Amino acid sequence: MKAKLRVVAVLLLCCAFLCGCQPKQQAAEPALVLGFSQLGSESSFRIGNTKDIEEKAKAYGVSLMMDNANQKQENQINAIRRFIAYRVDVIAFSPIVEEGWDNVLTEAKQAGIPVILVDRTVKTSDDSLYISQIGADFYREGVMAAEYLTKKADELGKDKLRIVEITGTENSTPMKQRHEGFWDTVANDSRMELLESVNGDFLRSRGAECIRYLLEKYGNQIDVIFSHNDEMTLGALPEIEQAGYTPGQDMILISIDGGQEAIDLLKEGKINCIVECTPMLGSLLMETAQAVKEGKPVNRVIHPVERAFSSDEDLSVLPPRGY
Ligand code: GYE
C-alpha cells in the first residue's frame, strides 16, 4: 500500500513540477492584415503581380484580403471602403488611373489606416494620403526604349525612322510616363518622326485593332512600333505577319514588361527590344507593410532594379521570367 502511495505522490510532484515550470505560451503576435485592391487581370504582368503578392503574403505570414477590380476604378474605391470597414492594418492598391482617389484615401487617413501604392501611382495635392509607392520608374522605361532606338538608328545608318506608338491605359502612370520618357529622349533627334500614337489600353485585343488601323493607314511607311506593353505587342505581331511584313526586320518592335511569351519572341528576333517592368513586387510590399505596422520609417518611393533586353545580345543565359 505504502509503495502505491509513494508512486502516486511522485506522479503528483512531477505534474506539479511540469505545470509550474511550463513557460507561458507567448500569445502569437496577430498577423498583419493587409487589404489589397488589384486593378484587374489585363496582362501577364498583372497576373504575375497578383500571383507574387499572394505567394509572398503566405511566405511572410501576412493575412491578405485580395480584391480584383476588373479594370474599374469604382470597384477599387469600393474595395478600399470595405478594407476600412474591416479595419485592416494596412491598405495597398495599384491605382488603375492617377486621378479620383482623394476622397477614399482621405477616409482611410481619417480611419488611421496607412496606404501603400503598388505598381502605379496617384496624382494628389495631399502627400499624406499614402505613405509609400512601390513600383517601376516608368519615365526611365520610356528613356531606355528611346536609347535602344537611337543606338539602333546609328548602327543601321538610318537618316529617318517613322514611328507609330501604341499606348497603355489613358491617364495611367505607366502610359503617361513611358510616353514622356521616350519622346523627351528623342526630342532633338531629327531622324525620329512620329506618324501616330493610338491607345491600346494595355490589352492584347486592342493591340491587334491598333496595328490593323495603323498598317491600313501607313503600311510600309512604318519603320518602328513602340508598344507600351507586351500584351499589345503580342496582339499586334500576328497582324503584322498577316499583312506580309517580317516583324523585327521590316519593322523594329520595341515593347515593355518582359514576360516569358514576349522574351521568347525576342529570342526569335520578332521583337527587337523589351524594357523590363517586373511585376515581382510582393516581397517589397510585405516588408514595407510590416515596417509601417511597426511604426518604422519607410522610403517614400521604392523602384525595383530594371534593364532592357535586346535581340542582339546572348539571351540563352536568361533564367525563366516567372510571368
Ligand atoms: O506594363 C502592363 C499592365 O502598370 C506597369 O500595367 C503596369 C502595366 C504593365 O497592364 O502590362
Q: Determine the average pLDDT of the residues in 27-49.
A: 91
**What is the reported pLDDT for 12?**
54
The per-residue DSSP string of 118-130 comes to: ESS----S-GGG-
278 lines ligand 1 (CB under 6 A): no
Average pLDDT, the chain: 93
**What is the reported pLDDT for 31?**
83
How many whole angstroms separate alpha carbon 124 and alpha carbon 102?
Answer: 7
Centroid of ligand 1 to alpha carbon of 229 (angstroms): 7
pLDDT tens-place string over residues 168-223: 999 999 999 999 999 999 999 999 999 999 999 999 999 999 999 999 999 999 99
pLDDT at 14 over 80: no
pLDDT tens-place string over residues 217-260: 999 999 999 999 999 999 999 999 999 999 999 999 999 999 99
**What is the reported pLDDT for 18?**
46
Mutation to probe ligand 1, out of 51, 202, 303, 306 (largest number of atoms < 8 A from CB): 202
Given a contact cutoff of 8 angstroms between Cβ atoms, the answer to whether 174 and 233 are in contact is no
pLDDT tens-place string over residues 132-166: 999 999 999 999 999 999 999 999 999 999 999 99
Nearest CA to ligand 1 atom 1: 229
How many whole angstroms separate alpha carbon 284 and alpha carbon 227?
Answer: 27
**What is the reported pLDDT for 20?**
45
pLDDT tens-place string over residues 270-290: 999 999 999 999 999 999 999
Mutation to probe ligand 1, out of 38, 43, 50 (largest number of atoms < 8 A from CB): 43
Query: Hey, what domains does the chain have and what are their CATH numbers?
Result: 32-136+279-305 (3.40.50.2300), 138-277 (3.40.50.2300)
How many whole angstroms separate alpha carbon 318 and alpha carbon 285?
Answer: 25
**What is the reported pLDDT for 21?**
45
**What is the reported pLDDT for 8?**
56
Q: What is the model's pTM? A: 0.90
Residue 38 burial class via C-beta count within 10 angstroms: exposed 0-12, middle 13-18, buried 19 and up:
buried
